[in-house]
Amino acid sequence: MGFAENNQQTDIGAAVRNGREILLQAYNWESHKYDWWRNLERKVPDIAKSGFTSAWLPPPTQSFSPEGYLPQNLYSLNSSYGSEHLLRALVQKMKQHKVRAMADIVINHRVGTTQGHGGMYNRYDGIPLSWDERAVTSCTGGLGNRSTGDNFHGVPNIDHSQHFVRKDITAWLQWLRNYVGFQDFRFDFARGYSPKYVKEYIEGAKPIFSVGEYWDSCNYSGFYLEYNQDSHRQRIINWIDGTGQLSTAFDFTTKGILQEAVKGQFWRLRDSQGKPPGVVGWWPSRAVTFIDNHDTGSTQGHWPFPSNHIMEGYAYILTHPGIPTVFYDHFFDWGNSIHDQIVKLIDIRKSQDIHSRSSIRILEAQPNLYSAIIGEKVCMKIGDGSWCPAGREWTLATSGHRYAVWQN
């Protein structure tokens, strides 16, 4: 039975306007080995009690690879994470606890079932959405148009310029939204196709909240991260704009800068205008901040945050403007102390009503010290430099290794 939602007139922009989302990435690269839907169902009460509004789940559909990122039959919800029945039980439990389920939407590419033009596996015979070669971009062996973005190599890339493709994808997203019960969307490999299609899909399926993964490299000189990352954050902002401002985007700029800053380069956390240097400094209501994810951290470790500094990272993103995301590993696998420190920071964010658009005044950005006042209600410092706010109105709210937070 589906979720016949009473308010089908979802106000697409309401969650972004409200600005009080706190996200959990609820898996890592190895989760498919661990009966995942059942494992998560047991954790829903803790996720809800901790204050998360949405939990991003791994791709729910049948996939060529166990992690879910090489989808084939989009309408099959039996995956290495568990059966359709277990997924529905999980989504139902999340609904009861008022935590939204975020679906990982992998629509840049799709593994074919049969050989077509050129002997490539670029047809989808025998399964729902039985597209032919016209659905695959010409640059990845199909008979469609050229890609409207970057190629994801080694697999047919979907040609979103085809009307029949967009009609089918929109119907599938509506099915995930209304029948399966996913309320939020995360768009995988958003560099791969034009953001105007993301806009069309959001307008068609009406998720409550959307976030895109627009990930390209920060500006480096050799191995040295440059101070000025304006061109990097501008590319993410251009993508958000291309979605009609309907989607948010992961703030890869902040992640790249913050993980260098915590190594004793906190001067990086104030840009030349005196603002935060990531997307969060320019468009905080659309910036989804994070420390690590299943690609950068976990067992892939493509671009990891220094593990002995993650609480400084969370002290930054959970007190700052933007939309913070906590990674499953840190919350559930790194011990009770880290879990409880993160929960405490979330508590302070909520009780002091810090939100995505809260004001920020950066007070110090020195090699070994960063401090700021957010929303005039929270003050924080990270780094091993000693510092505390002037004025008797501030009381210590929490502190830990190389971080402290005050409130008034």
> 261 in helix, strand or coil?
helix
Choosing from 184, 213, 251, 329, the catalytic residue is 213
Question: At CA 149, angle to CA 54 and CA 305, rounded to 5?
Answer: 50
The pair phi, psi for residue 118, each rounded to 5°, is 75, 10
What are 216's two structure tokens?
A: 């390209």
The pair phi, psi for residue 376, each rounded to 5°, is 55, 10
Choosing from 159, 188, 271, 329, the catalytic residue is 188
Is residue 173 within 8 A of residue 106, CB to CB? The reply is no
Does 188 qualify as catalytic in the annotation?
yes
Residue type, 323: I
Total residues belonging to the chain = 408
User: Within 13 Å, how many C-alpha atoms sit on residue 172's CB side?
Assistant: 21
Sheet holding 403-407, edge to edge: 360-366, 369-374, 378-382, 403-407, 395-400
Buried b (16+ CB within 10 A) or exposed e, 101-132: bbbbbbbbbbbbbeebeeeebbbbeebebebb
Helix axes 36-49, 84-96, angle to 10 degrees: 10
Alpha-carbon distance of 186 to 22, in angstroms, equals 14
Q: Which residues pair with 396 in a beta bridge?
A: 406
The catalytic residues are: 188, 213
